């Protein structure tokens, strides 16, 4: 308002300013800025939401409910006919879950003759108790007849209930944990017998049909093998190829062809590399399916372009004066490259390699095609044994229906992201610390 009155007053003296729409233009400027801020916030908000939902779903996977029970290794249950000295199968096939059940019954003070109550007890403890107790007995058969405290895993449903993830207001018939089991759980919790512990099994178990005994042990080993193979193959080959293209190759048709190829391979969908692996490595060369060796080869081919592009940029960043100085002092071209250029470009190469490795670690699609979607319970001893990989394990858990698997899956994602974050941060630190501006 005051502006207008000022204008009319001053109008008599000075000519009015020509209206060039400044106001509208500044408003447009502000709007444009706001669009930019909105765009960035959308990206960051999505990142935040995604990380928060995954962490909130997954952090409980790092804890596992166990029941500490005084297990009596009753000879009557393990070896009723007394033949274990002659027949080793007796100790393998014995009814170990019964031992755990007996201990639980004693602890809860249930009458073993009460059939309905005993039925409700089914599914309280994990079936994994069988393996756990069998391992104890076969490691030391002399425990038979004695009593010792053992941490038995609770079944997945009880584990969820213990963590408060099961909605108890739902009608009893429609949830997987009965009221009786909840009562027992609270009783054991009050006694301090049932408690949460850090879930080491998540890192050590292999595949299993039960959530509480399934883990990422096999996947971690498989991914480790693959990363080693990628590093051993892709780094030397990529560096050699870049050196040739950057320092030696003459500009001709052939070099052009290679360059177009590399740039294109960097943009080829990863699943195509999986098809290549299936057709060439498995079908044509007869390599084993599901083996981390084949996975490593496929990922190597996929990572090579990334490493080559990064290495070439690092080599090109070394100033020509270094080259001239080395050549001027009588070094051969090969000596110039390997004694002077390569060491100076090393931080850049390393950064590119780490970023390439991180991409390879998170890659899933090509591994699905070469049979890494496999139920592997035993650790692979060599890269030629069947194995899975971290992201593939996540994918397999995503296809399971039970909610306890979703929890494990989110936990596995957290672990994968931590690995990737560590690699990326290493790359950034390396770049910051060793990067030279010429």
Is 432 a residue that touches another protein (CB under 8 A)? no
Beta carbon nearer to another protein, 144 or 245: 245
- Measured in whole angstroms, how far is the alpha carbon of residue 346 from the centre of its chain? 28
Residues from 281 through 300 that contact another protein (CB under 8 A) = 283-284
* E strand or H helix that includes residue 98: helix 96-108
Per rule CB under 8 A, count of chain residues that contact another protein: 85
Q: Which is nearer to another protein, 195 or 374 (CB)?
A: 374
Provide, rounded to whole angstroms, the least separation between the CB of residue 303 and another protein. 11
User: Rule CB under 8 A: which of 383-422 touch another protein?
Assistant: 391, 394-395, 398, 406, 409, 413, 416-417, 420-421
Cα separation, 222 vs 374, in Å, equals 12
Q: Is 237 in the site for another protein (CB under 8 A)?
A: yes
In the range 311-340, which residues lie near another protein by CB under 8 A? 332-334
Cα gap 58→398, rounded to integer Å: 13
- Nearest distance, CB of residue 257 and another protein, angstroms: 7
State yes or no: residue 43 binds another protein (CB under 8 A): yes
CB atoms within 10 A of CB 116: 7
> How far apart are CB 203 and another protein at their closest, in Å?
19
CB 107 → another protein: shortest distance, Å?
Answer: 37
Is 438 a binding residue for another protein by CB under 8 A? The answer is no
CA distances for 279 relative to 274, 284, 346, 402, angstroms: 9, 6, 36, 35
DSSP-derived secondary structure letter, 85: T
Q: Where are the beta strands (DSSP E) in 62-129?
A: 63-72
Q: At 151, which helix (H) or strand (E)?
A: strand 147-153
Q: Which of residues 344-363 bind another protein (CB under 8 A)?
A: 358, 361-363
Q: 373: burial class by Cβ within 10 Å (0-12, 13-18, 19+)?
A: middle
Residues 304 and 241: their CA atoms lie apart, in Å, by 9
Report in angstroms how near the CB of residue 162 gets to another protein at its nearest: 22
- 301 lines the binding site for another protein (CB under 8 A): yes
d(CA 260, CA 354): 24
Considering the rule CB under 8 A, would residue 222 count as an interface residue with another protein? no
Binding residues among 129-158 for another protein as defined by CB under 8 A: none
Footprint on residues 7-36 left by another protein (CB under 8 A) = 25-26, 28-29, 31-33, 35-36
């Amino acid at each position: 308002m005051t502006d207008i009155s000022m204008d009319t007053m001053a109008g008599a003296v000075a000519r009015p300013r020509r209206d060039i729409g400044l106001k509208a233009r500044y408003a447009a400027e502000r709007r444009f800025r706001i669009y930019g801020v909105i765009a960035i916030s959308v990206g960051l908000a999505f990142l935040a939401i995604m990380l928060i939902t995954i962490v909130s779903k997954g952090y409980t996977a790092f804890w596992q409910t166990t029941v500490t029970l005084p297990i009596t290794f009753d000879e009557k249950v393990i070896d009723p006919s007394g033949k274990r000295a002659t027949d080793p199968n007796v100790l393998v096939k014995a009814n170990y879950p019964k031992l755990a059940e007996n201990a639980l019954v004693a602890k809860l003070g249930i009458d073993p003759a009460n059939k309905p109550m005993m039925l409700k007890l089914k599914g309280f403890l994990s079936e994994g108790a069988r393996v756990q107790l069998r391992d104890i007995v076969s490691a030391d058969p002399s425990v038979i007849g004695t009593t010792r405290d053992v941490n038995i895993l609770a079944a997945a449903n009880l584990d969820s209930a213990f963590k408060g993830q099961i909605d108890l207001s739902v009608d009893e018939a429609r949830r997987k944990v009965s009221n009786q089991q909840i009562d027992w759980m609270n009783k054991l919790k009050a006694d301090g017998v049932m408690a949460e512990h850090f879930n080491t099994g998540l890192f050590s178990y292999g595949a299993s049909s039960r959530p509480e005994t399934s883990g990422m042990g096999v996947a971690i080993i498989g991914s480790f093998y693959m990363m080693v193979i990628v590093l051993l193959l892709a780094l030397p080959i990529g560096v050699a190829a870049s050196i040739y293209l950057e320092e030696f190759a003459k500009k001709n048709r052939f070099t052009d062809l290679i360059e177009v190829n590399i740039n294109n391979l960097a943009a080829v969908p990863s699943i195509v590399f999986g098809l290549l692996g299936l057709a060439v490595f498995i079908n044509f060369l007869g390599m084993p399916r599901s083996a981390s060796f084949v996975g490593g080869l496929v990922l190597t081919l996929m990572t090579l372009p990334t490493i080559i592009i990064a290495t070439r940029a690092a080599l090109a960043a070394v100033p020509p004066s270094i080259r001239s100085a080395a050549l001027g002092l009588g070094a051969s071209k090969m000596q110039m490259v390997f004694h002077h250029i390569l060491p100076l470009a090393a931080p850049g190469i390393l950064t590119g390699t780490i970023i390439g490795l991180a991409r390879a670690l998170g890659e899933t699609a090509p591994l699905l095609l070469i049979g890494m979607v496999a139920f592997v319970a035993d650790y692979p001893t060599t890269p030629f044994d069947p194995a899975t990989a971290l992201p593939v394990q996540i994918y397999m858990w995503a296809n399971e229906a039970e909610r306890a698997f979703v929890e494990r899956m989110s936990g596995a994602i957290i672990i994968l992201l931590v690995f990737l974050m560590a690699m990326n941060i290493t790359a950034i630190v390396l770049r910051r610390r060793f990067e030279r501006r010429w």
